[in-house]
Amino acid sequence: MSVHFSQKVIGVCSAAALLLGSSCSKQEAPAGLPADAVAMIGDRIIMPDDLAVEAERRMESGLPALAPAELLNRMMLRESMLMKSRETGLENDPEIQREIERLLVARLRDRELPALLDSVAVSEGEVEQAYRERIADFTTPALDRLAMLHLAIEKNASEAKRAEIRARMAEARRLAVEQRGSAALPLAKGFDQLSIQYSDDAVSRYRGGDLGWIDERKGLARIPDEVVQAAQRLPVGELSEIIAAGPGLFLVMRTDERPSTVKPFEQARPLLQKRLVAAKRDALEERYYMECLEAAGPRINQVVLATLAAPKEDAPVKFANGF
């Protein structure tokens, strides 16, 4: 319910009674106070409408309603403190000025930007075009599951030592072929117990040499690319030959595969539409700020500007992300 104070309710009599504590029916308005005003403090004249506006503000803020005299008392207290703050020079404090400026900018944005941004829309054609252009974003790459045995060879290893390590890997391959030939071991187990005896890879040796699912486009950081690529060319369940690469010898197996899939347009539409609307809103907000800047007619002294020290890292100006 709206709160309104009329001239009849809040008038000269009520104000005089509050300020002077005497009978308002016989009290004239204080000197210098307009006959239709409620009160005056310093240069500020408080009219009945001012009380009505303040009462409405309190109601919209969820604050309890106050009797006219109490409301006026609080308004005058606030005004007296504002007067004192000006007398002490607080209004000229740089931090206070910055806060006032921040509030003014925020209020301007709140008043003008929402209507502009709410008008943003994207057509079905724009969404479809974005889907075609960004199809990679909605494509799940093909994945391969690989298992590996790795025996490390030190750079300064002798030929005899190298031959010994190769013989061990050859033995591991023979056992792995026999193990696969028995058809008793699921592919998911990779090399199974062989990896404990014949692999130096600490990450995979206790899980059958399993390297997990690998994106065919990215490989695996700790494994030489030629090893991963050799494994990806194998049929599922097949073993590679012994591969000499990087830090030693490798034996790899392709244990499973997942084909590449593309999310259908109907499933991708909501996300694309959201992204397009957000991009348009950002562009519109950026344009709004640039128009404000251009309307102010800025003039720059490039000579002085050139003498100023540059920051360590230059960052592009993007008003839509804040000031």
Tell me if 42 sits within 8 A of 79, measured CB to CB.
Answer: yes
Cα separation, 165 vs 172, in Å, equals 11
Read off the pLDDT of residues 59-94 as tens digits, 9 standing for 90 and up. 999 999 999 999 999 999 999 999 999 899 998 999
| 147 and 136 both lie in a single domain | no
| 238 and 151 both lie in a single domain | yes
Residue 287 maps to a domain = yes
Q: DSSP label at 239? A: B
Overall number of domains in the chain:
3
Residue 189 maps to a domain = yes
Confidence of residue 9 (pLDDT cuts 50, 70, 90): very low
| Residues in a beta bridge with 253 | 147, 239
Cα separation, 27 vs 25, in Å, equals 6
The more confidently predicted of residues 29 and 262 is 262
| 46 and 27 both lie in a single domain | yes
Structural domain containing residue 255: 142-259
Q: What are phi and psi of 261, to 5 degrees?
A: -130, 150
Work out the burial of residue 168: count CB atoms within 10 Å of its CB; fewer than 13 is exposed, 13-18 middle, 19 or more buried.
middle
Residue 267 maps to a domain = yes
Summary mean pLDDT of the chain: 85
| 157 and 25 both lie in a single domain | no
Looking at residue 322, its pLDDT comes to 55
Residue 18 has pLDDT above 60, yes or no: no
Q: What percent of the chain has pLDDT over 90?
A: 65
Read off the pLDDT of residues 281-294 as tens digits, 9 standing for 90 and up. 999 999 999 999 89
Work out the burial of residue 251: count CB atoms within 10 Å of its CB; fewer than 13 is exposed, 13-18 middle, 19 or more buried.
buried
| 240 and 160 both lie in a single domain | yes
Residue 316 maps to a domain = no
Residue 311 maps to a domain = no
Residue 190 maps to a domain = yes
Tell me if 185 sits within 8 A of 192, measured CB to CB.
Answer: yes
| 215 and 66 both lie in a single domain | no
> Of 68, 65, 74, whose CA–CA distance to 13 is shortest?
68
Looking at residue 320, its pLDDT comes to 54
Looking at residue 33, its pLDDT comes to 86
Among the listed ranges 74-83, 207-216, 306-315, which one has the minimum average pLDDT value?
306-315
Read off the pLDDT of residues 101-112 as tens digits, 9 standing for 90 and up. 999 999 999 999
Q: Domain with 212 in it: what CATH number? A: 3.10.50.40
Residue 7 maps to a domain = no
Looking at residue 4, its pLDDT comes to 43
Cα separation, 180 vs 100, in Å, equals 77
Task: For strands 39-41 and 44-46, give the pairing.
Answer: antiparallel
| 234 and 196 both lie in a single domain | yes
